[in-house]
Amino acid sequence: MGKDRNSVLDIRNLSIEFATTRGRLKALRDVTLSVPPEKIVGLVGESGCGKSTVIFSIIHLLAENAVVTGGEIEFEGRDILKMSPNELRAIRGDRISMVFQDPMTSLNPVLSIDTQMTDIQYRANIDMEEKRNRAVEMLARVGIPDPRQRLANYPHHFSGGMRQRISIAMALLANPALLLADEPTTALDATLEAQIIHRLRQLQDMVHCSILFVSHHLGLIAELCDNVVVMYAGEVVEEGDVRDIFHRAAHPYTQALLECDPARIKEKTRHLPTIPGDIPDLVNLPAGCIFSNRCPQVFSKCRTTAPQRFEVEPGHFARCHLVTEGDVP
Amino acid sequence: MWIYLVKRILLATIIVITAVTLLYSMILAVPGDPVTVLLGPRSTPEMRDTLRAQMGLDKPFYYQIGHFLLNVLQGDLGMDVFSNRPVSTIVFEQLPHTIILILASIGWAILIGVPLGCYSAIHRNSFVDKLTGVFSVGTIAIPSFVIALYALLIFAVELQWLPAIGAGTGGTLVDRIRHLILPALAVGLGWVGYLSRLVRASMLEVLGENHIRTARAFGLPEHVVIFRYALKIAILPTIALLGVGIGYLLSAAVFAEIVFARPGIGKLIYESVMTRNYPIVMGSVLITTIFFVASTMISDIINAGLDPRIRENL
Amino acid sequence: MTALLEVENVRIRFRSKNRIQALMDRDQDPYIEAVCGVSFTLEPGETLAMVGESGAGKTTLARSIIGLATLRQGSIRFLGNELSNLSDAAFAQFRRNIAMMFQDPVGCLSPRRTVRSLILEPFKIHRIGDKNWTAETKRLLEMVGLSDSFSGRYPHQLSGGQARRVGVARALALSPKLIIADEPTAGLDVSVQGEILNLLVKLQADLGVSFLIITHNLSVVRHISDRMAIMYLGRFVEQGITDDIFYHPRHPYTHALLSANPNPDPDDPKEQVELKGEIPSLMNRPRGCEFHPRCPCVQDRCRSEAPPLETVAPGHLVTCHYPIKRNGRP
Amino acid sequence: MSEAVNRKMRTERSALYNLLSRLYHNPLGFFGLILVVIVVGSAIFADWIVPYDPIAINIRERLQGPSAKHLMGTDQLGRDVFSRIVMGSRIALKVALVSITLALSCGLVLGLIAGYGPPWLDKIIILIFDTIRSFPTIMFALAIVTLVGPSLETVILVVVITTIPVYGRIVRAQTQAIKNNEFILAERAMGANIIRILSLHMLPNIIGPLLIIASMDLPGVVTIEAGLSFLGVGVRPPTPSWGSVLNDGYSFIRNTPWLIVSGGIPLIITTLGFTFLGEALRDILDPKLRKDI
């Protein structure tokens, strides 16, 4: 697997552990994924699967007790994990920017939007007035009504939806190569979510940046993303084009996840499918495949040896013994 | 902003009025007759009657309170029976010394405490952080008058580096400052620890919040993140507690003035208590309370200035 | 047979400004109308889902039924008895028949008490004495699929799903006739959601309990609710049989809500009906039909005149001047 | 049922045991515990420890430095300072415990009423709290002493009045924070009356942090008592109090430093001891309270 010339971001065999009182929690194990240029990659998985840890490791803003135990994150030819704090600071907000989940707490409450949006343009050597104009223009693009006047307002003058639009405007201000979005619309209502996703798609075509979009909402991923990466309990179980995943899912977990989504079940049913059991304890990991204790098609090999990443079809990878041995169901 | 201002001033006046009423009703609730307490047992009934009439003590309760309140608003706190000079002039003569002492103590406490708090918040669990931790817990706990006594014993009596008595009134500026060092040290020492712990705690809390993570995610230089984004919020609780802290400072000042025999409102009250001269005591307590309420109001207003959320919520 | 629950023209408001502020700016109404004129009925053994976005007043309405919010106007009758004007004591005997499940699975359990005492709380409150408590706890825990080992645990030692089940067990303690569930699937992953919903459906089948479910998760509503109502800014804009509304939405807001729920299939994107702007604040409500600022098919009449309540099909009510035509689907 | 009861017993005993062991790992906390044990021990066993009668005057041996005969020397009336210090601890702790219990209970009740009761009552209580808080403690004490005269009861009265608002405000803030939690709404929905909600659901969540704050407030109360005695308006002589020893020390500072040194030591030991112990307890029992200084 040589250097993938045509991808903006390449994560290879990334493993991260958190030092906790109970012992070393293996949050990420051998995670491999890539983000092609100008594409939107959906990172999907349920709570506790480590999707936010992946995002925060890219921008290297991990918690103090996090320890990177292996792998590399190649971005524009350099490994982020080996960058010095100053080098990291240089690309943050310039080449990579981020939108966070909770709009109510991600903006500074005592500084005006004007201050916050001009501060982040400290790298561009243009005068303050020009910085304000660029801010106003971007605010208009994300759908903030009369942005020139609203610039002087403080975050608490805006609703949740408006604040998230401001965060997106701030993130795209520096024309980044990669935008990281950590469940940006989970805290919003459905109609608002649709507006913001629609707006994000338009802005992406204009700014030509690629987006790594984290979510647990399958419908959203299907509508917005070009590629999808499915994670479970700290491992990438499947990765591929959006149609590969939604129509030809190879991994039993992906299939079960799709089955459980009530929106996909056509005829009305009184009994909703579920995935019985819980995520295994990530401090002392079970042998074999991580999904073995909940997998409907588990067999002897799953409980002994961990499956390896296998290319089911061009660009479509899965980590399951069924795929490597038996035919794809 | 001005709505907040009006509300805050209104609240302050209400507190002062309640304080006055409380104080005055305390006087009247005294089991013995205040006048006999004042003039002592040997005073003749006539003297007591004239004084009682003079002070309007024979009128009904609410009338006296109303009368007293009116006088207070006009700045008249009644007459001192012993020196028959107006109470307010006596008290205002002594007030400046106390204010200088308080400002000096809180001054050096802020200059050292706040930066120390910031440093130990940024370099958590470093040697400095641990040292200041133990130092501040110690100095906050130990009573200020014990510190004053030990300082007096060591620096003034034994080593004689600094004067032990008085405020050096009439001397040169340098002399007055030399008289100020030990009392200011005694009163302010506990506050260095208190402020550093406070700033450290609120800095740590703010640094953990999401918007600081956003600021760092945009690659803002660390000093901008610390001073413009974090400190501006972290300082708010410190300012609020400084306003309230004036009350504790005034108490510590009383001891410092007595231990170092410095003139000031504390010494005045102490002497009047000895002679049971309650008008002076009441007058000075009242003025210090007004001074305290004013300082809490000022710190709230400064906070409103810094934090738009307070400024605008009605 | 008489309806289990009849809610008629209920209005609830909160004081948004205290007396001094109200004096200062007289032009603004010092009250916020959280619920303005809502009526519906609930039959025994039936499940009614209330759907709407934040600020629609769903939770306020639900809480008024169990007496946690006082009505300004209107009536709530449970099995024919009027609840809205009862004193706490008189209300108590009805509290046995109505139970409530709350939004935050762990937050609605008193933090310093064991699961056992949490489940037995309803019995203690209503002073029901004569039971063997250990057996009763075991029975209730098993009903919700938890083993007896949970009885000694504290709320902070439970996962979201487990805490939610303890909430259900507590609600079932006095075998109520009606359970009000406020966002039963909030905070749960899709794979765990199914477990709780299947549990509620099974309880309905076994005990004939009727449910009032508050949620903003439309795909769940389609499967488990018999009837549904869509709330916007404190009013019912549409209510009716669930299938009717899903296949023949007549109110533009319902249509937008349904389309805003993206279909998890890249090759079958639904036609997007995108609303304009944001949910208006309850402080200054739009004139006429309150949805007109965001409505894709707004017309002049909508801006000035509040729409009447119309019955467009048996049991299918809409408040809109120009309801959408019935489309071809069955 | 008995099995559940002794399981509860075991958990309580083991809770105490693991509290002590965790305290052992926190050096400052353990050091604080030793100091507190010394002070409390000397207060309880004062009658046995005291070598001389603390009030007995012996002019011939006046103002002596520390010696084998008099561990901490003698004061201007020849009274043994060590005995006065040990007896003084009894006064200090008595004042502290009595006033803190009184202030805590009144503060708790008023705080609960203010936090959970009707808004107009809340405003009145808060106004009273703010007014009392606006009197500097010592000034307020001096004012009361002027009127009522110095005595132990006055000291306790002053301490109680000035500390009730402190606890009242903490309880009120916590009650208001908990009041809107969903588990309180759940209780109300089940028909629980106010008494049950306050006692079984509100109180257990408030008492813990409140006791920790009280333990850290103890030094403050001891300081007030010592301060007033130092000013000669607290405990009436000849009853031995640390403050009065310091008072004698101050008047004879030029003759002997030992009175001040020995008068200050117990105050330092007590205040440091309770503060270090209180801090350690807070870190162990309620880590999220750490940010509250």
pLDDT in tens, C52-87: 888 888 889 998 888 888 888 899 999 888 888 887
- Tokens representing B233? 């919020």
Burial B153-184 (b: 16+ CB within 10 A, else e): bebbeeeeebbbeebbeeeeeeeeeebbbbbb
pLDDT greater than 60 at residue B198: yes
pLDDT greater than 80 at residue A279: yes
Contact A216, A230 (CB under 8 A): no
Mean pLDDT of A100-124: 91
Percent of chain C with pLDDT over 70: 94
- Tokens representing D259? 């009175």
Q: Is A83 on the interface with B (CB under 8 A)?
A: no
CA distance D109 to chain B (A): 22
- Tokens representing B246? 């004036």
pLDDT in tens, A80-105: 999 999 999 999 989 999 999 999 99
Residue D233: predicted pLDDT:
83
Mean pLDDT of A36-61: 91
What average pLDDT does the structure give for chain A?
Answer: 89
Is A9-95+176-245 a domain of CATH 3.40.50.300?
Answer: yes
Residue D39 makes CB contacts below 8 A (sequence gap 6+) with D89, D93, D266, D269, D270, D273
Contact C210, C177 (CB under 8 A): yes
**Interior angle at CA C210, CA C207 and CA C216, nearest 5:** 130
Q: Is C194 on the interface with A (CB under 8 A)?
A: yes
Cα–Cα separations (whole angstroms), residue C62 to A122, B122, C4, D187: 51, 48, 15, 16
Provide the strand spans (E) within chain C: 5-15, 31-42, 47-52, 73-78, 81-82, 98-101, 178-182, 210-215, 227-232, 235-241, 309-313, 316-319
Q: Is C304 on the interface with D (CB under 8 A)?
A: no
pLDDT greater than 80 at residue A325: no
Contact A67, A128 (CB under 8 A): no
Residues of D whose CB is below 8 A from B143: 219, 222-223, 226-227, 267, 271
Subunits with 3+ Cβ pairs within 8 Å of D are B, C
pLDDT in tens, B116-168: 999 999 888 889 888 988 888 888 888 888 999 888 888 888 888 888 787 77
C-D C-beta contacts closer than 8 Å: 57
Contact B134, B220 (CB under 8 A): no
Phi, psi (rounded to 5 degrees) for A182: -95, 95
The amino acid occupying position D235 is V
pLDDT greater than 50 at residue B314: no
Residue A35: predicted pLDDT:
93
Contact D142 B273 (CB under 8 A): yes
* CB nearest to C189's CB, from A216, A223, A268: A216
The pLDDT confidence band at residue B38, using thresholds 50, 70 and 90, is low
Percent of chain A with pLDDT over 90: 49
Dihedral sign (CA B48, B54, B55, B61): positive
Assigned CATH class of D25-44+71-285: mainly alpha
Residue C21: predicted pLDDT:
66
The pLDDT confidence band at residue C297, using thresholds 50, 70 and 90, is confident
What is the rounded distance in angstroms from the CA atom of residue C165 to the CA atom of residue C146? 8
Which uninterrupted H or E stretch holds C136?
Answer: helix C133-143
Low-confidence spans in chain D with pLDDT less than 50: 1-2, 289-293
Tokens 């257990």, residue located: D204
Domain spans of chain A, in order of start: 9-95+176-245
- Tokens representing B231? 């400190």
- Do the bridges between strand C227-232 and strand C210-215 make them parallel or antiparallel, or are there none, so unpaired? unpaired
Nearest to A319 by CA among A258, A272, A252: A252
What average pLDDT does the structure give for chain B?
Answer: 84
Is the bond into A296 cis (omega within 30 degrees of 0)? no
Which uninterrupted H or E stretch holds C204?
Answer: helix C190-207
Contact D138 B285 (CB under 8 A): no
Contact B218 A167 (CB under 8 A): no
Domain spans of chain D, in order of start: 25-44+71-285
Considering only B1-5, B77-81, B270-274, C200-204, which range has the smallest mean pLDDT? B77-81
pLDDT greater than 70 at residue C330: no
Find the closest chain D residue to B275 by CA distance.
Answer: D146
Q: Which of B87, B102, B273, B290 to mutate to test the interface with D (most CBs of D within 10 A)?
A: B273
Neighbours of A311 (CB within 10 A): 13
The amino acid occupying position B153 is L
The amino acid occupying position B20 is V
Nearest to B189 by CA among B116, B109, B254, B251: B109
pLDDT in tens, C181-227: 999 888 788 888 888 888 889 889 998 999 999 988 888 888 889 99
Contact C260 A278 (CB under 8 A): no
Percent of chain C with pLDDT over 90: 19
Q: Which of B123, B126, B211 to mutate to test the interface with A (most CBs of A within 10 A)?
A: B211
The pLDDT confidence band at residue B30, using thresholds 50, 70 and 90, is low
Mean pLDDT of B231-260: 88
Most confident of A166-175, C255-264, C303-312: A166-175
Find the closest chain C residue to B314 by CA distance.
Answer: C21
Subunits with 3+ Cβ pairs within 8 Å of A are B, C
Residue D290: predicted pLDDT:
41
Mean pLDDT of A94-123: 92
Nearest to C212 by CA among C229, C198, C196, C195: C229
Q: Is the model's pTM score more than 0.95? A: no
Contact C229, C217 (CB under 8 A): no
Considering only A153-167, A288-302, C16-30, which range has the smallest mean pLDDT? C16-30
What is the rounded distance in angstroms from the CA atom of residue D40 to the CA atom of residue A34? 67
Residues of A whose CB is below 8 A from B218: 92-93, 97, 119-120, 170
- Tokens representing D87? 């007896």
Mean pLDDT of A248-256: 91
Percent of chain B with pLDDT over 90: 20
DSSP secondary structure of A190-214 = HHHHHHHHHHHHHHHHHHT-EEEEE
- Tokens representing C37? 């004129």
- Tokens representing A56? 């925060």
Contact B216 A92 (CB under 8 A): yes
Domain spans of chain C, in order of start: 1-87+218-262+270-330
Neighbours of D143 (CB within 10 A): 24
- Tokens representing A17? 């552990």
Residue D104: predicted pLDDT:
92
Cα–Cα separations (whole angstroms), residue C4 to C64, C97, C207, C229: 16, 11, 15, 17
Give the CATH number of domain C1-87+218-262+270-330; options: 3.40.605.10, 3.90.1300.10, 3.60.20.10, 3.40.50.300: 3.40.50.300
Residue B314 is classified by DSSP as -
Crossing angle (nearest 10°) for helices B232-259 and B144-151: 60
Contact D148 B30 (CB under 8 A): yes
Residue D137: predicted pLDDT:
84
The pLDDT confidence band at residue A329, using thresholds 50, 70 and 90, is very low
ipTM above 0.90, yes or no: no
Q: Which of B2, B312, B313, B314 to mutate to test the interface with C (most CBs of C within 10 A)?
A: B314
pLDDT in tens, A164-184: 999 999 999 988 999 999 999
Chains D and B touch (3+ CB pairs under 8 A): yes
pLDDT greater than 90 at residue A15: yes
Max CA pair span of chain A: 68
* CB nearest to B219's CB, from A90, A108, A110: A90
Contact B146 D233 (CB under 8 A): no
- Tokens representing A39? 């594409």
Q: Is C110 on the interface with D (CB under 8 A)?
A: yes
Burial B103-114 (b: 16+ CB within 10 A, else e): ebbbebbbebbb
* CB nearest to D147's CB, from B140, B274, B278: B278
Residues of C whose CB is below 8 A from D7: 152
Residue A47: predicted pLDDT:
84
Find the closest chain A residue to C265 by CA distance.
Answer: A222
Sheet arrangement for strand A66-75: A23-35, A9-20, A66-75, A78-79
